[in-house]
Structure 1
Amino acid sequence: MQAVILAAGEGSRLRPLTRSKPKAMLPVANRPIIEYVINALLENGIRDIIVVVGYRKEDVIRHLNRLDAPVQVVVQERQLGTADALLAAESEITEDFLLLPGDNYINAESIARIKKEKNAMLVAEHPNPSNFGVVVIRNGFVREIIEKPEEAPTFTVATGIYSFTPDVFSYIQTNEIPDALAAMIESGRRIRAIPADDWQDAVYPWDLLKLNSRMLRGISPEIGGTVDASVTRRGAVRIGSGTTIGPNTVIYGPVTIGSNCNIGPNCVIMPDTSIGDRVVLEPFTYVADSLIMNDTTIDSHSRIVSAVFGQGCILADHTTTYPSESFIEVGDRIQKEKFGAVLGDGVRAAPFTTFKNCIVGNGVRIERGKTVIGVIEDCTRVM
């Protein structure tokens, strides 16, 4: 059996984090999301894998080349939609195949449930169905797919994972897969609905925190760096090579820390935290339930909770993220969400800055310690 992974899109609702990398390459528990998809396929013995790339394709190709996996790459020249991306791979498809998004987590058991079905889709229950294609099911078969309705008739959503026979291409007349499914159903073809065992998507940047927490549950303890004898570790803690953990630091897993980091002394790292490569945490810094990407520095006496930080942020001493619940505008939607902060790449903040339930764009400069709320656009100077 073949598999086609769609990794050509940007993930615009995840901005500012996807300005510098496609959604499929966002790190969760220090691994790009697409790796979890590939591994689920390999665990099911599926080794004929085609990845469709497009937006920032060089980043995806470079990473795929480092993997010990048999992956073939095709390019979607313009990101017109999911069906258009599948058409880019048509010439390489010779048998029944699975179609999967490269930017959602899926486990091997879910793949096992659908791989033997012909013309099926994987579905899941979701508390916010209006962010997805909502699926109406009758007698185990898909009756209708309603794309992102304001009022959803059910909590069952499409995961974007399908099992198809090659004749699906004869039903593609627009740029989107749901339209091809609608044409199949209208013609009398039956699409079986298969419940997923475990599937998660990150629609908005703060959703990465839940996905990160889920992925960290699967890590195994590993110490590859230098850990002072006075460090306290509890639970599953993974520490990369070249990383130094200073005296009296406390780490409660699940936590993963990348390579060549400098942590502490006297830091506290609490569960559900991922720290990328070459990250610096200065003394007396507290981090919990957060995802910190590569090359970020957080100075002393800071408190980081429920935060997602992009690459290369430099945050001065006494930086605080303050989780609170409020309405926040993202695109054409207003969401009520509770989280601390989402920072894009290269954010710089002065001492005593507090980020409160905010999204801060790439390259923002906060030049005087203050409380930052709401949405701050890319390259803004906050005086």
Structure 2
Amino acid sequence: MQAVILAAGEGSRLRPLTRSKPKAMIPVANQPIIEYVIDALLENGIRDIVVVVGYRKEDVIRYLNKLDAPIQVAVQERQLGTADALRAAESEITEDFLVLPGDNYVNAESIARIKKEQNAMLVAEHPNPSNFGVVVIRNGLIREILEKPEDAPTFTVSTGIYSFKPDVFSYLQTNEIPDALAAMIASGRRIRAIPADDWQDAVYSWDLLKLNSRMLRGITPGIGGTVDASVIRRGTVRIGTGTTVGPNTVIYGPVTIGSNCNIGPGCMIMPNTSIGDRVVFEPFTYVADSLIMNDVTIGSHSRIVSAVFGQGCILADHTTTYPSASFIEVGGRIHKEEFGAVLGDGVRAAPFTTFKNCIAGNSVTIEEGKTVVGLIEDGTRVM
């Protein structure tokens, strides 16, 4: 069996984090999302894999070239939709195949369930179905797909994972795969609904916190750096090569820390935290339930909770993220979500900055003593 992974899109609802990388390359628990998809396919013995790239394709191709798996690449020249992306891989398809989004997590058991079927969709229950294609099912068969409806009739959604025969390409008349499925159903084809065992998507940037927490459950412990004898470690902790953890630091797993980091002394790292490469935590910093990407510096006496920090952020001492539930508009919708902060790449914050339920764009600069709330556009200077 073959597999096509669609990794050509930007993931616009995850901005500002996807300005510099496609959604499939966002690191979760220090591993790009697409790698979890590839791992699940390999566990099922599926090694004939085509990845469709487009937005910032060089980043994806460079990463795929580092993997052991023999992966083919197809290019979607313009990001016109999922069916258009699938057409880009048509010349590589010679047998029954799976289609998977490269920016969702799916486990190997879910793939094992759907790979046994011809013409099937993997479905899942979701508390916010209006963010997805909502599926109407009768007697185990797909009857209708309602794309992001305001009033969803069911909590069952499409995961964007399908099993197809090669003749599906004759149904790809528009730019979206759900339209092809509707045409197949109208022609009398039976599309089976296969319940997922474990699947998760991050639609908005704050959703990465839940996905990060989920993926940290699967990390393996290991110490590759230098950890002071006074450091207290509890739970599953993974520390990369070249990383130094200073005296009297406390780490409660699950936590993963990348390579060449400098942590402490006197820091506290609490569960569900992932820390990228070359990150610096200055003394007496507290971090919990957060996703910190590469090359971030957090100043001393800071308190970071429920935060996603893009790469290259430099935050001075006494920085605080304060989780709060308030309204924020993203993707044309008003949301009420509780989180501390989402910072794009290269944010600079002076001492005593507080982020409260804030999404700050790339290269935002914040002067000393400010409390930042809501949505801050790229390049803004907060004075």
Shorter-chain TM-score: what band? Answer: over 0.9
Tell me, yes or no, if structure 1 residue 10 matches structure 2 residue 10.
yes
Residue type of the partner of 1:180?
A: A
Q: Aligned partners of 1:305, 1:230: CA distance in 2, in Å?
A: 24
Correspondences of 1:1-383 after superposition (within 5 Å): 1-383=1-383
Does structure 2 retain, via aligned residues, the 8 Å contact 1:285–1:303? yes
Q: Aligned partners of 2:60, 2:98: CA distance in 1, in Å?
A: 20
- Offset at 1:145? 0.2
Q: Aligned partners of 2:242, 2:169: CA distance in 1, in Å?
A: 50
Q: Aligned to 1:66, what secondary structure does the other structure show? A: coil
Q: Aligned partners of 2:233, 2:133: CA distance in 1, in Å?
A: 43
Q: Aligned partners of 1:145, 1:293: CA distance in 2, in Å?
A: 36
Q: Aligned to 1:161, what secondary structure does the other structure show? A: strand
Residue type of the partner of 2:232?
A: T
Q: Aligned to 2:342, what secondary structure does the other structure show? A: strand
State TM-score, norm by structure 1: 1.00
- Offset at 1:367? 1.6
Deviations 1:161-217 (A, max 9, x none): 000000101111100000000000000001000000000000000000000000000
Does structure 2 retain, via aligned residues, the 8 Å contact 1:124–1:199? yes
Q: Aligned partners of 2:330, 2:29: CA distance in 1, in Å?
A: 25
Q: Aligned partners of 1:208, 1:276: CA distance in 2, in Å?
A: 15
Deviations 1:60-109 (A, max 9, x none): 00000011111111110000000000000000000000000000000000
- Offset at 1:331? 2.0
State TM-score, norm by structure 2: 1.00
Residue type of the partner of 1:94?
A: T
Does structure 2 retain, via aligned residues, the 8 Å contact 1:349–1:369? no
Residue type of the partner of 1:135?
A: V
Q: Aligned partners of 1:176, 1:239: CA distance in 2, in Å?
A: 42
Q: Aligned to 1:135, what secondary structure does the other structure show? A: strand
Q: What are structure 1's unaligned runs of at least 5 residues?
A: none
Q: Aligned partners of 1:230, 1:67: CA distance in 2, in Å?
A: 37
- Offset at 1:363? 0.2
Deviations 1:143-176 (A, max 9, x none): 0000000000000000000000001011111000
Q: Aligned partners of 1:191, 1:358: CA distance in 2, in Å?
A: 42
Residue type of the partner of 1:307?
A: A
- Offset at 1:225? 0.2
Residue type of the partner of 1:26?
A: I
Residue type of the partner of 1:319?
A: T
Q: Aligned partners of 2:229, 2:332: CA distance in 1, in Å?
A: 52
Does structure 2 retain, via aligned residues, the 8 Å contact 1:232–1:248? yes
Residue type of the partner of 2:222?
A: E
What number of residue pairs does the alignment pair up?
383
Q: Aligned partners of 2:157, 2:213: CA distance in 1, in Å?
A: 22
Q: Aligned to 1:188, what secondary structure does the other structure show? A: coil
Runs ≥4 in structure 1, deviation > 6 angstroms? Answer: none
Q: Aligned partners of 1:3, 1:91: CA distance in 2, in Å?
A: 13
Deviations 1:123-161 (A, max 9, x none): 000000000000000000000000000000000000000
Does structure 2 retain, via aligned residues, the 8 Å contact 1:368–1:382? no
Residue type of the partner of 1:85?
A: A
- Offset at 1:368? 2.4
Residue type of the partner of 2:373?
A: I
Residue type of the partner of 2:309?
A: F
Q: Aligned partners of 1:274, 1:11: CA distance in 2, in Å?
A: 21
Q: Aligned partners of 1:367, 1:253: CA distance in 2, in Å?
A: 34
Q: Aligned to 2:356, what secondary structure does the other structure show? A: strand
Deviations 1:260-297 (A, max 9, x none): 00000000000000000000000000000000000000
Q: Aligned partners of 2:218, 2:302: CA distance in 1, in Å?
A: 28
- Offset at 1:116? 1.2
- Offset at 1:369? 1.7
